[in-house]
């Protein structure tokens, strides 16, 4: 009999941990090695364990799942990381992948999809929920705009937000400067990323610098 796939969970919601625990228990080729309720519980303890796959939520209390991935990746280069979340917006998808996620599954995924995703990871794949995969395809598709007109598509407010991003201001600082809520600032940044066909602050600022 082959060695089972050793899985760790990092999820703050008890009902979701119970759901994933039961899903993994049904698979004869997997075992749940450990589970944590927060990034603070998981790190650094999890780095001492021999694990094949870590399944982590993004919206954890305290340190979020993306920051946890950034911390774990250098210590666990052979471990596969699966993000398991309700969030499928461009910003979180690209940040998670850049932080080291090998897979991005939404919490609407079926138990079968989760198990197949874990197995695909172990075979060298990069499983993603359909809507997330579509976002990546759309991001990589050639831009419909002609060279040189990217900034003409931005609204005056988006131009201001992008200028403040280029100055290194945090979301909270931009919100205060522009008299907006943080959620509104995030919405503007999401729109900016989409219009400029970028996936991070650094790429947006670089594109902005080239146009000025």
Domain locations in the chain as residue ranges = 5-138, 151-210
Look at the alpha carbons of 125, 65, 73, 32 in this order and tell me if their dihedral is positive or negative. negative
Q: 151-210 — its CATH code? A: 1.10.10.10
Return per-residue pLDDT of the chain as tens, 212 residues: 589 999 999 999 999 999 999 999 999 999 999 999 999 999 999 999 999 999 999 999 999 999 999 999 999 999 999 999 998 887 888 889 989 999 999 999 999 999 999 999 999 999 998 888 877 777 666 555 444 444 457 888 888 888 888 888 888 889 888 888 888 888 888 888 888 888 787 788 777 665 55
Classify domain 5-138 by CATH architecture. Answer: 3-Layer(aba) Sandwich (3.40)
Strand order in the sheet with 5-10: 30-36, 5-10, 53-56, 80-85, 103-106
Cα-based angle 48, 20, 13 (whole degrees, multiple of 5): 85
What is this structure's pTM?
0.68
């Amino acid at each position: 009999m082959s060695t089972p796939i050793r899985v760790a969970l990092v999820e703050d919601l008890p009902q979701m941990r119970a759901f994933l625990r039961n899903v993994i228990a049904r698979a004869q080729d997997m075992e749940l090695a450990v589970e944590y309720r927060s990034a603070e519980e998981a790190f650094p303890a999890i780095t001492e364990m021999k694990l094949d796959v870590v399944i982590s939520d993004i919206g954890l209390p305290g340190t979020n799942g993306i920051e946890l991935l950034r911390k774990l990746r250098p210590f666990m280069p052979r471990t596969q990381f699966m993000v398991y979340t309700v969030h499928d917006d461009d910003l979180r998808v690209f940040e998670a992948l850049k932080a080291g996620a090998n897979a991005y599954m939404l919490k609407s995924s079926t138990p079968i999809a989760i198990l197949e995703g874990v197995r695909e990871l172990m075979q060298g794949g990069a499983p993603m929920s359909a809507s997330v995969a579509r976002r990546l395809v759309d991001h990589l598709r050639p831009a419909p705009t002609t060279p040189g007109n990217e900034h003409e598509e931005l609204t005056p407010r988006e131009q201001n937000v992008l200028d403040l991003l280029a100055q290194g201001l945090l979301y909270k600082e931009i919100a205060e400067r522009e008299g907006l809520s943080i959620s509104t600032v995030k919405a503007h940044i999401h729109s900016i990323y989409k219009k400029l066909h970028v996936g991070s602050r650094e790429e947006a600022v670089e594109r902005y610098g080239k146009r000025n």
